[in-house]
Amino acid sequence: MKEVRKIGSRKRIALVAHDNKKKDLIEWAEHNKVVLARHELIATGTTGKLLEEKLDRPVQRVLSGPLGGDQQIGAMIAEGKIDVLIFFWDPMESQPHDSDVKALLRLGVAWNILLACDRATADFILTSPLMHQDYETQLPDYSGYLKRKVAK
């Protein structure tokens, strides 16, 4: 039997953006202010401060991405404390913390959370009827990977 994780109707949404995408994320969040007000928001450093100002509501802030914030969000995903990751990343510019970015995206997929890297996907997630009700997500079974590593 597959393991499931229950996600409540009030989602825990992590909002992250690279410098060149912060304006886009803030505009998207402001456009979706009413829907986002129903959920708990978590964000990295500067993005969190900008969101608090624009949305006029508290946002749980972690460190700036390059200073460990991406890793903090990743840890929260692994602990089941994040339900949705909206990460407007810049595909055109290399980041000094690219390895952290890759790890964060990998954790989002590994733990089967909702993950949007652009506005269109974020819009589809936020407007889904499932966004406003309880939901059970199946957790992947990685025990086969662990057994292979131990056997080597």
User: How many angstroms separate the CA atoms of 30 and 149, rounded?
Assistant: 46
- The reported pLDDT for the residue numbered 149 is 60
* Position 2 in a domain: no
* Position 51 in a domain: yes
* Position 3 in a domain: no
- The reported pLDDT for the residue numbered 141 is 86
Please indicate whether residue 100 is annotated as part of the active site.
no
Q: Where are the alpha helices (DSSP H) in 16-115?
A: 22-31, 33-36, 45-55, 69-78, 98-110
- The reported pLDDT for the residue numbered 95 is 65
* Position 78 in a domain: yes
**Amino acid at site 130:** L
Q: How many domains does the chain have?
A: 1
Instruction: Name the DSSP letter for residue 110.
Output: H
- The reported pLDDT for the residue numbered 1 is 59
- The reported pLDDT for the residue numbered 78 is 94
Domain that holds residue 93: 9-151
Q: Are 70 and 44 in contact (CB under 8 A)?
A: yes
Sequential pLDDT tens for the chain (152 residues): 578 999 999 999 999 998 899 999 999 999 999 999 999 999 999 999 999 999 999 999 999 988 899 999 999 999 999 999 999 988 777 666 678 888 999 999 999 999 999 999 999 999 999 999 999 999 888 888 766 666 55
* Position 22 in a domain: yes
- The reported pLDDT for the residue numbered 97 is 63
- CATH code, domain with 106: 3.40.50.1380
* Position 1 in a domain: no
* Position 4 in a domain: no
Pick the catalytic residue from 19, 24, 56, 70. Answer: 70
H or E stretch at 125: helix 119-127
* Position 65 in a domain: yes
**Contact partners, residue 95, CB within 8 Å, separation at least 6:** 18, 66, 89, 101
- The reported pLDDT for the residue numbered 6 is 94
